[in-house]
């Protein structure tokens, strides 16, 4: 398959080696791809590649000049979403020096608080 294949190119197509990519798609989408391939006299693979290329070209135009918002770094956002301890903060339980995770507690004391076993 040509990497730059478009739907208009399928009428004058040339067969070249391709790699297999296994993806799940809704049944309706698969049927529509089959219909387009049949109407153009092309393989479903060629139609999918052409559609992907056209979609990628459109998305490149939409994303041209895009800059992520300033402020918190991407790595910091990922750490916060995963619930990792934050640097510089420690557990609020007396005598515990482990890193803070949530609600002022380290992972151990947070789980105890959730179970109702933590005496505050």
Q: Over the stretch 107-119, which tens digit does the pLDDT of each residue have? A: 899 999 999 898 7
Q: What's the CA gap between 35 and 16, in Å, rounded?
A: 22
What global pTM score does this model have?
Answer: 0.42
pLDDT tens digits for range 30-69: 999 999 999 988 888 888 888 888 888 888 888 888 777 7
| Residue 82 pLDDT exceeds 90 | no
105 beta partners:
102
Length of the chain in terms of residues written? 120
Q: What is the mean pLDDT of the chain?
A: 80
pLDDT at 38: 92
Could you tell me the pLDDT band of residue 17, with boundaries at 50, 70 and 90? low
Helix extents (H) in the chain:
27-40, 44-63, 74-82, 107-115
Query: Percent of the chain beyond pLDDT 70?
Result: 76
């Amino acid at each position: 398959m040509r990497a730059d294949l478009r739907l208009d190119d399928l009428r004058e197509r040339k067969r070249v080696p391709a790699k297999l990519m296994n993806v799940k798609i809704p049944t309706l989408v698969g049927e529509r791809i089959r219909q387009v391939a049949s109407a153009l006299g092309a393989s479903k693979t060629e139609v999918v590649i052409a559609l992907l290329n056209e979609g990628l070209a459109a998305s490149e135009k939409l994303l041209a000049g895009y800059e992520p918002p300033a402020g918190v770094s991407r790595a910091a956002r990922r750490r916060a979403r995963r619930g990792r301890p934050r640097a510089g903060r420690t557990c609020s339980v007396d005598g515990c020096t482990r890193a803070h995770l949530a609600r002022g507690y380290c992972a151990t004391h947070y789980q105890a608080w959730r179970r109702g076993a933590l005496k505050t």
